[in-house]
């Protein structure tokens, strides 16, 4: 029975010491406020987001955290879709430029209509 009371008193002393250290009863005062971790690699505000921007994006961890594998999978998919979108846009712009060049070439080859609506 004496051993039980000794363990209870020892536990109370340890809990009190930890509480005083955290609350500010120690010689250095309370624990300093922890600066929250912030996102360092922002997405660029002055240009469209690219695959490289998404690949380099890393989120800070918090006390409750996040499932890194799930976020990394989502960012991987987003990056792949951005790359696919950019390639598709480049193909469409090239096709449009080719169509415009062909249309300009055809309009230069057409003879000018004669005045008065005469037929040859």
Query: What does the pLDDT average to over 37-46?
Result: 68
- Residue 72's pLDDT is 81
Q: 84-115: per-residue pLDDT in tens?
A: 999 999 999 999 999 999 988 887 766 656 66
19-34 per-position pLDDT tens digit = 877 776 555 655 566 6
Looking at residue 105, its pLDDT comes to: 83
- The pTM score is 0.46
DSSP for 54-118 reads: HHH--PPP-SS---HHHHHHHHHHHHHHHHHHHHHHHHHHHHHHHHHHHHHHHHHHSPPPPGGG-
> Distance between CA 45 and CA 56 in Å, rounded?
15
């Amino acid at each position: 029975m004496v051993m039980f009371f000794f363990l209870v008193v020892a536990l109370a002393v340890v809990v009190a010491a930890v509480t005083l250290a955290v609350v500010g009863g120690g010689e250095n005062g309370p624990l300093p406020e922890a600066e929250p971790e912030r996102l360092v690699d922002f997405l660029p505000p002055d240009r469209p987001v690219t695959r490289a921007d998404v690949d380099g994006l890393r989120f800070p961890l918090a006390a409750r955290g996040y499932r890194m594998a799930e976020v990394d999978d989502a960012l991987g998919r987003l990056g792949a879709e951005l790359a696919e979108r950019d390639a598709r846009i480049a193909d469409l712009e090239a096709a449009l430029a080719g169509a415009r060049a062909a249309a300009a070439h055809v309009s230069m080859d057409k003879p000018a209509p004669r005045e008065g609506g005469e037929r040859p």
